Amino acid sequence: MTTVTSPLLPPLKEFQRCLEQIWHNRWITNNGAFHQQLEQAMAAYLGVEHLSLFTNGTLPLITALQALHITGEVITTPYSFVATTHAIWWNGCKPVFVDIEEETCGIDPDRIEAAISPRTTAIMPVHCYGIPCNTDRIQAIARKYGLKVIYDAAHAFGVRRDGQSILNCGDMSTLSFHATKVFNTVEGGALIVNDGETKQRIDYLKNFGFASETEVVAPGINSKMDEVRAAFGLLNLQQVDTAIGKRHRIATRYRDALRGIPGIRFFDDMPGIRHNYGYFPIFVNAAEYGMSRDALYFKMQEHGIYGRRYFYPLISTFSSYRGLPSATPANLPVATRMADEVICLPIHHELTDEEVENVILQVKR
């Protein structure tokens, strides 16, 4: 038995019908019918006003910084996927790493102000594992210093707090629809903005800056989503709640079974939060558990269970970034410890009861 991840796939027959429609339309990219439908359906599903589809989840990060004219230094978290920091670098800005808080795995608001310099223009936090950051405090700091806030919300598809989408926080938020995410369009992503004028500008930027046939208003890029993937996404959107429901049941089973094991910690559901169960991280305290995280990780692999060490190694340890003053482990003690302790257990909509029990067995020993 091998337990690996499994992407959410639309029913093949229905996808075939969509493909026939696309063949019939003879319109395969550039804001076609499926692209328009998915933008509308997605905005309604998520509870946001203005959303622009992208060809992956990295280009909306890069485009957000471009659109907001971010320069100088950007405060961010080392506890994320590398794309978060790469997007800052690709805009010619300097990433400044700030440690995370244990309660959310998001950037620690208590440590942001000390990292602000006269060159700081933005904060780029991550709703890690879909757990909302401390957005109120981040916003208060941003307001005080006149900074923009761009959330990497790649993990936060459908996450709500007190009924409101967390994608409406800050100046912009980005999503990833990569195959490994809760919702996918094979590859894909989106940028969520606060007003129609900004959405218009984003729509230009993702199409080379074209505002009309003859007018280029900015140095844009090509990051549009095509019709085939928009159709794929439209079908997946219809079944994503069912998939989230299955993930929820698996998370509940994991929690019931793993609670009380010395040295194993995990997140409980948080009051008022509608989670998406995209990840089920556990944190292994080697001394209390009697085995290191890596020993457990490789033992699980011997039993065919492929967990993921998200996020190890920290972005700040990669060769491109480790020379930055803010990248020193002494500046990032919580992130360093959590990166050394984390394993994300397998969780997806097709995981069988037998597979779940096998994972539990290996963690329980």
Q: Is-contact 21 32, C-beta < 8 A?
A: no
In this structure, what are the phi and psi dihedrals at residue 219, rounded to the nearest 5 degrees? -70, 85
CA 303, CA 142: separation in Å to the nearest integer? 47
State yes or no: residue 52 binds ligand PLP (CB under 6 A): no
At its nearest, how many Å lie between ligand PLP and the CB of residue 317? 17
Stretch of residues binding ligand PLP (CB under 6 A), selected from 102-110, 115-123, 148-156, 212-220:
148-156
Residue of minimal Cβ distance to ligand PLP: 57
Q: In the set 39, 73, 152, 355, which binds ligand PLP (CB under 6 A)?
A: 152
CA 328, CA 131: separation in Å to the nearest integer? 25
Decide whether 55 or 362 has the Cβ nearer to ligand PLP: 55
Q: In the set 57, 78, 125, 233, which binds ligand PLP (CB under 6 A)?
A: 57
Decide whether 104 or 176 has the Cβ nearer to ligand PLP: 176
Stretch of residues binding ligand PLP (CB under 6 A), selected from 20-28, 81-89, 113-121, 249-257:
81-89
State yes or no: residue 155 binds ligand PLP (CB under 6 A): yes
Q: Is-contact 83 115, C-beta < 8 A?
A: no
At its nearest, how many Å lie between ligand PLP and the CB of residue 60? 9
Q: Is-contact 210 216, C-beta < 8 A?
A: yes
Q: Is-contact 8 243, C-beta < 8 A?
A: yes
The 3-class secondary structure across 308-359, one letter per residue, is: ECCCCCCHHHCCCCCCCHHHCHHHCHHHHHHHHHEEEECCCCCCCHHHHHHH
Q: In the set 77, 168, 176, 316, which binds ligand PLP (CB under 6 A)?
A: 176
- The 181-210 site mask, x for binding ligand PLP (CB under 6 A), equals --------x---------------------
The 3-class secondary structure across 83-127, one letter per residue, is: HHHHHHHHCCCEEEECCECCCCCCECHHHCHHHCCCCEEEEECEC
Q: In the set 52, 80, 85, 326, which binds ligand PLP (CB under 6 A)?
A: 80
CA 103, CA 270: separation in Å to the nearest integer? 10
Decide whether 205 or 363 has the Cβ nearer to ligand PLP: 205
Q: Between residue 116 and residue 145, which ones bind ligand PLP under the rule CB under 6 A?
A: 126
Residue 273, strand partner residues: 161
State yes or no: residue 45 binds ligand PLP (CB under 6 A): no
Decide whether 165 or 176 has the Cβ nearer to ligand PLP: 176
Element (H, E) at 201: helix 196-205
State yes or no: residue 232 binds ligand PLP (CB under 6 A): no
CA 90, CA 100: separation in Å to the nearest integer? 23
Element (H, E) at 150: strand 148-152
Number of residues that bind ligand PLP (CB under 6 A): 14
State yes or no: residue 84 binds ligand PLP (CB under 6 A): yes
At its nearest, how many Å lie between ligand PLP and the CB of residue 33? 24
Q: Which residues bind ligand PLP (CB under 6 A)?
A: 56-58, 80-81, 83-84, 126, 152, 154-155, 176, 178, 189
